Homo-oligomer: A and B are copies of this chain.
Amino acid sequence: MLQGVSADRSVSMFTPLVVVELASDTKKEAIAWLLSRIRDKQQNGGAELLVEQLSPGLGTEKKEKPNLFLVGASWHRLLSGAEDVGLFKEHSDGSMRGFTCANKHNFKDFQGDGDGFLSMAECQYIIKHELDTLRAKDETHVPGHSQAKLYPGKSIIRRLQSKGILIQIFPLHEQEELKRLSFSWYKKVKLAFQPLDDIRHYYGEGQALYFGFLEYFTFALVPMALIGVPYYLFDWEDYDKYVIFAVFNLIWCTVILELWKRCSASLAYRWGTLSRKKAFEEPRPGFHGVLGFNPVTGRKEPLYPTAKRHLRVYLVSLPFVLLCLYLSLYVMMIYFHMEGWALSVHDEDPTFWTEILLFIPSIIYAVVIEVMNLIYRYAAEFLTEWENHRLESSYQNHLVLKVLVFNFFNCFASLFYIAFVMHDMMLLRQSLATLLITSQILNQFMEAFLPYWLQRRRNKKMINKVKNKRTLEDKEFPLAEQVRMEADMSTYLGTFDDYLELFLLFGYVSLFSCVYPLAAVLVVLNNISEVYSDAFKMCYVFKRPFSDPAANIGVWQLAFEAMSVIAVVTNCALIGMSPQVKDYFPDSETQLILWTVAIEHGLLAIKFILTFLIPDVPKHIQVKLARLEFESLEALKKKKILETSEFSKIDQ
């Protein structure tokens, strides 16, 4: 036991930030080589980081995860890394500027050595970046693993990852910080905003933007919900009153998306990601191709012809997606046939059993949809992998697009069918309510309770195990145990599913809430519980994710905007179909349709004009960005004039 503690101490010579786990069959020489490369000086092409192997676990579990390594760095190294990754920090004049070691003392909160200047998440991000950009020199393969080929300039970590030698790399949680964050975030019931700055401080900008968007979206829904309640209370059956609601819907969803852009720009500016330049993106680990020279960097790198990728995208993936959509449509038609059949059976002979029969088609359909979504998700991942995208970002975009289209179709096709083919507003309202409520319950269960329960069981086991070995007064584990426990936690797979859920909810509200005004209320309630469950799972269920210096919500902004365009069309059609409006054109249906189409075009035009008129970045931030640019130009000019005058002195 004493040995364990002392090993812990030898490890905590530096603050461990990131954990690297290698496969248990990794050769000794590979480990030694990797460690030396990580520790080597930057001039020699190393990463100049600190790294230690974690002492083996307590007692019998020695064979479990033998190759865990803790990586850290000196403050000096971290600061120079911050400059490498182009980190923006608050300057002493209040603006956000790219951090440089030369000007470090001009930054706010920079004191003495710079200890505490960078947040732990930033340090972890820097270490990740430095590890990722650790490149092979003249090695032809990883020592001891001849199948893991290397060539000069290849990222070592990515090769180890793609060959399965590196199992995972994750940043460590900070127990103290986490406790404080989780308390201010969700442990107290309060009427307050989320501590976005703290979330960003702990998880990075990408996560914080998601929670910021979730919060913004919830608040944006409140007016809808407030208007929806009286509609629900007083006009439940009077569904031709929904015209005003639909018009409100239209304006609302355009305006909130535009305002979110400004809001997101403000957040991104405050967090220093708005004007941060992205470093050159490395190929993703799974990318393969013929070895050649990258035309941009001149480095050796696999190359894969764009034309070939386009062929795969347009000739295989696109037809596959369309086929899936057709299949989904087909399944939907079967569902409607079954429903019709069940209804006719029930009408012929209304007994208790036929009453139950009425629910059967919906249940089957719901299950089939879930199964289809699942299978499709795997297929989409496989296909996108097969498309062989060079960049992680382009892989993500293609995957998001594929999954988005299919999910949208699966969720809304039946509603569209009911609304515009069957013209049955009562059924539409029923289906909407059913879909919304069941999907919410399912989601909350799958997302929060299940992982919570699994995690709790695992934790308990772990604690018991530890307790068996030694008697702990408090529940604080020594570092080695903490690392082992975190290595066992599930990996957070990014904000994809969270955004997808919000996207579908946004769809329910913006497309059809005029038919079922309570939708907004339900979504608000769901979002509030979503904040809590997401916060909980981020804090206690998953490994800490690496922070992601996002400046906006990326492709999702586009997705939400596309949805809002569809919402204009849908709402106009619903308005055109309402009995109220039809009364204005008693004689001619043609006139009604033409007017509806004309108004719809007008609304779309106004929507696009609004998008142009509302600046994406608030004025005061534009001014700050312009000032920075102006100052750097002026500085350059001054420097030049000085040089020129010196030059002319020499001339004379």
Interface of A with B (CB < 8 Å)?
A: 42-43, 76, 80, 83-84, 100-102, 277, 279-280, 295-297, 306, 569, 589-590, 593-594, 597, 601, 619, 623, 626-627, 629-630, 633, 637, 640-641, 643-645, 647-648
- For the complex with contacts A280-B626, A590-B590, 9 further pairs of A-B residues with Cβ separation under 8 Å are A43-B641, A80-B640, A83-B640, A101-B643, A101-B644, A280-B630, A296-B630, A306-B619, A593-B593
- B601, A641: Cβ atoms closer than 8 Å: no
**A604, closest chain B residue (CB):** B604
User: Given the complex of chains A and B, what is the CA–CA distance between A297 and B629 in angstroms?
Assistant: 10
The contact of A637 among B84, B102, B630, B640, by CB within 8 Å, is: B84
Question: B295 to A569, Cβ gap below 8 A?
Answer: no
User: What is the total number of copies of this protein in its complex?
Assistant: 2
Contact B627 A295 (CB under 8 A): yes
Partner of A80, one of B84, B296, B644: B644
Complex contacts, A633 vs chain B, CB 8 Å: 277, 279-280
Known: A594-B593, A626-B296, A630-B297. A645 touches B280 (CB 8 A): no
> In the complex, what's the smallest C-beta–C-beta distance from A607 to chain B, in angstroms?
13
Which chain B positions have C-beta within 8 A of A593?
590, 593-594, 597
Complex contacts, A643 vs chain B, CB 8 Å: 101-102
* CA gap between A628 and B418 in the complex, in Å: 55
* Cα A309 to Cα B526 with chains together (Å): 43
In the bound assembly, the distance between CA atoms of A69 and B390 in angstroms comes to 59
Q: Which of B42, B296, B629 contacts A623 (CB 8 A)?
A: B296
- Residues from chain B with a CB closer than 8 A to the CB of A296 are 623, 626-627, 630
Do B280 and A641 touch across chains, with their CB atoms under 8 A apart? no
B619–A101 CB distance below 8 A: no
Give the CA-CA distance A80 to B633 in the complex, in Å: 14
Residues of B within 8 A of A647 (CB): 101
**Residues of B with C-beta under 8 A to A627:** 295-297
Could you tell me the distance between the alpha carbons of A645 and B637 in the complex, rounded to whole angstroms? 29
Instruction: Name the one of B42, B306, B597, B644 contacting A641, with C-beta atoms under 8 angstroms.
Output: B42
What is the bound-complex CA distance between A295 and B93, given in angstroms? Answer: 14
Given the known interface contacts A80-B640, A644-B101, the answer about A623 and B43 at a Cβ–Cβ threshold of 8 Å is no
Check if A43 sits within 8 Å of B645, measured CB to CB. Answer: yes
SS of A interface (majority): helix
Q: List 5 A-B contacts (CB under 8 A).
A: A101-B643, A279-B633, A280-B626, A295-B623, A569-B601
Report the bound CA distance from A76 to B640 in whole Å.
13
Contacts of A629 in B (CB 8 A): 277, 280
Compute how far the CA of A378 lies from the CA of B43 in the bound complex, rounded to whole angstroms.
67
Q: State how many angstroms separate the Cβ of A557 from the closest Cβ of chain B.
A: 13
Measured in the bound complex, the distance between the Cα atoms of B104 and A640 in whole Å is 13
With both chains docked as a complex, state the minimum distance between the C-beta of A166 and any C-beta of chain B, in angstroms: 25
Query: In the complex, what residues of B have CB within 8 A of residue A295's CB?
Result: 623, 627
A629 to B277, CA, bound (A): 10
Give the residues in chain B near A102, CB-CB below 8 Å: 643
Q: List chain B residues, Cβ under 8 A from A619.
A: 306
Q: Which residues of B contact A76 (CB under 8 A)?
A: 648
Question: With a CB–CB cut-off of 8 A, which chain B residues contact A637?
Answer: 84
Task: Tell me the bound Cα distance from A83 to B280 in angstroms.
Answer: 27
Nearest-CB residue, chain B, relative to A80: B644
> In this complex, what residue of B is CB-closest to A622?
B296
Q: Which residue of B lies closest to A623 (CB)?
A: B295
Taking the nearest CB of chain B, how far is it from the CB of A523, in angstroms?
27
CA distance A83 to B647 in the complex (A): 15
CA distance A594 to B641 in the complex (A): 68
Cα A466 to Cα B276 in complex, Å, equals 63
Shortest beta-carbon distance, A574 to chain B, in Å? 15
Please provide the 8 A-B residue pairs with the shortest distance between their CB atoms, ordered closest to farther: A296-B626, A296-B627, A295-B623, A280-B630, A589-B590, A593-B593, A597-B597, A296-B630
Complex CA–CA separation, A126 to B263 (angstroms): 40
Write out the residue numbers on chain B whose beta carbons fall within 8 Å of the beta carbon of A43. 641, 645
Determine whether the beta carbon of B640 is less than 8 Å from that of A101. Answer: yes
CB-CB < 8 A to A100: which residues of B?
A: 640
Q: Which residues of B are found within 8 Å of A640, using beta-carbon distances?
A: 80, 83-84, 100-101
Residues of the B chain whose Cβ atoms lie less than 8 Å from the Cβ of A297: 627, 630
Complex interface: chain B residues within 8 A of A306 (CB): 619
Output the least CB separation between A211 and chain B (Å). 28
How long is the Cα–Cα vector from A597 to B569 in the complex, in angstroms? 11
Q: Nearest Cβ in chain B — how far from A243, in angstroms?
A: 20
Q: Which residue of B lies closest to A601 (CB)?
A: B569
User: In the complex, which residues of chain B have a beta carbon less than 8 angstroms from the beta carbon of A645?
Assistant: 42-43
Residues in B neighbouring A630, C-beta threshold 8 A: 280, 296-297
Nearest CB of chain B from residue A305's CB, rounded to whole Å? 11
Within the assembled complex, what's the spacing in Å between the Cα atoms of A633 and B594?
Answer: 57
Chain B residues in 8 Å Cβ range of A601 = 569
- Bound state CA distance, A593 and B600, in angstroms? 14
Bound: A643/B42 CA distance, A:
12
CB-CB nearest in chain B for A648: B76
Whole-angstrom distance between the alpha carbons of A540 and B640 in the complex? Answer: 40
CB-CB under 8 A from A590, the residues of chain B are 589-590, 593
Q: How far is the CA of A633 from the CA of B296 in the complex (A)?
A: 12
Could you tell me the distance in whole angstroms from the C-beta of A50 to the nearest C-beta in chain B? 15
CB distance from A404 to the nearest CB of B (A): 14
Please give, as numbers and ranges, the residues of chain B lying within 8 Å of A626 by CB-CB distance: 280, 296
Minimal Cβ-Cβ distance residue in B for A590: B589
Chain B residue at minimal CB-CB distance from A634: B297
CB-nearest residue of chain B relative to A84? Answer: B637
